A = this chain, B = another copy of it.
Amino acid sequence: MSSALTFRVTKTASDCNARLGTLTLPRATLETPVFMPVGTQGTVKAMLFENIEQLGYKLILGNTFHLYLRPGSERVERLGGLPNFIGWSGAMLTDSGGFQVYSLKDLRKITESGVAFKSPIDGSKHDFTPERVMEIEHQLGADVIMAFDECTPYPATEEYVRLSMERTHRWAIRCRDRHAELGGDSTGHNLFGIVQGGTDDALRAESAAFMSSLDFAGVAIGGVSVGEPPAEMYRITRNTAPLLPLNKPRYLMGVGMPEDILEAVIAGMDMFDCVLPTRMARNGTVFTSQGRRHVSNARFAEDTNPIDPDCDCLTCTRHSAAYLRHLHRCNEILFANLASIHNLAFYARLMQQIRGAIADGSLLQLRDSLRDQWGLVPIDELT
The residue on B at minimum CB distance from A48 is B337
CB pair A43–B80 under 8 Å, yes or no, is no
Residues of B within 8 A of A301 (CB): 71, 75
Q: Is A332 an interface position by the 8 A CB rule?
A: yes
Q: Separation in Å of the A178 CB from the closest CB of chain B?
A: 26
CB pair A334–B46 under 8 Å, yes or no, is yes
Q: Separation in Å of the A209 CB from the closest CB of chain B?
A: 40
* A residues with CB within 8 A of B: 41-43, 45-51, 70-71, 75, 78-80, 85-87, 301-302, 304, 314, 318-320, 322-323, 326-327, 329-330, 332-334, 336-338
Q: Separation in Å of the A39 CB from the closest CB of chain B?
A: 10
Q: With A75-B301, A336-B333, A337-B333 as given contacts, are A323 and B87 in contact (CB-CB < 8 Å)?
A: yes
Residues of B within 8 A of A79 (CB): 302, 304, 320, 322
8 additional A-B residue pairs with CB within 8 Å, beyond A71-B326, A87-B319 = A41-B332, A43-B330, A46-B334, A47-B334, A71-B329, A79-B320, A79-B322, A333-B333
CB pair A304–B50 under 8 Å, yes or no, is no
Can you list 5 residue pairs at the A/B interface with Cβ under 8 Å? A42-B327, A79-B302, A85-B323, A86-B323, A333-B337
**Distance between Cα atoms of A332 and B41 in the complex (Å):** 8
The residue on B at minimum CB distance from A314 is B50
Residues of B within 8 A of A75 (CB): 301-302, 322
Q: Separation in Å of the A134 CB from the closest CB of chain B?
A: 23
**Distance between Cα atoms of A319 and B50 in the complex (Å):** 12
Give which listed residue, B45, B78, B319, contacts A302 with CB less than 8 A.
B78
Give which listed residue, B43, B302, B326, B327, contacts A334 with CB less than 8 A.
B43
Residues of B within 8 A of A333 (CB): 45-46, 333, 336-337
Q: With A301-B75, A320-B85, A333-B333 as given contacts, are A48 and B48 in contact (CB-CB < 8 Å)?
A: yes
Which interface residue of A70, A87, A329, A334 has the most chain B CB atoms within 10 A? A334
Q: Separation in Å of the A61 CB from the closest CB of chain B?
A: 15
The residue on B at minimum CB distance from A51 is B48
Residues of B within 8 A of A318 (CB): 49, 87
**Distance between Cα atoms of A75 and B198 in the complex (Å):** 53
**Distance between Cα atoms of A351 and B45 in the complex (Å):** 32
**Distance between Cα atoms of A332 and B46 in the complex (Å):** 8
**Distance between Cα atoms of A332 and B323 in the complex (Å):** 23
CB pair A43–B327 under 8 Å, yes or no, is yes
Q: With A301-B75, A304-B80, A336-B333 as given contacts, are A42 and B323 in contact (CB-CB < 8 Å)?
A: yes
Residues of B within 8 A of A51 (CB): 48
Residues of B within 8 A of A326 (CB): 41-42, 70-71, 85
Q: Separation in Å of the A46 CB from the closest CB of chain B?
A: 4
The residue on B at minimum CB distance from A49 is B318
Residues of B within 8 A of A334 (CB): 43, 45-48
Residues of B within 8 A of A78 (CB): 302
**Distance between Cα atoms of A46 and B47 in the complex (Å):** 11
Residues of B within 8 A of A322 (CB): 71, 75, 79, 85
**Distance between Cα atoms of A47 and B79 in the complex (Å):** 28
Q: Separation in Å of the A3 CB from the closest CB of chain B?
A: 25
CB pair B45–A332 under 8 Å, yes or no, is yes
Q: Separation in Å of the A327 CB from the closest CB of chain B?
A: 6
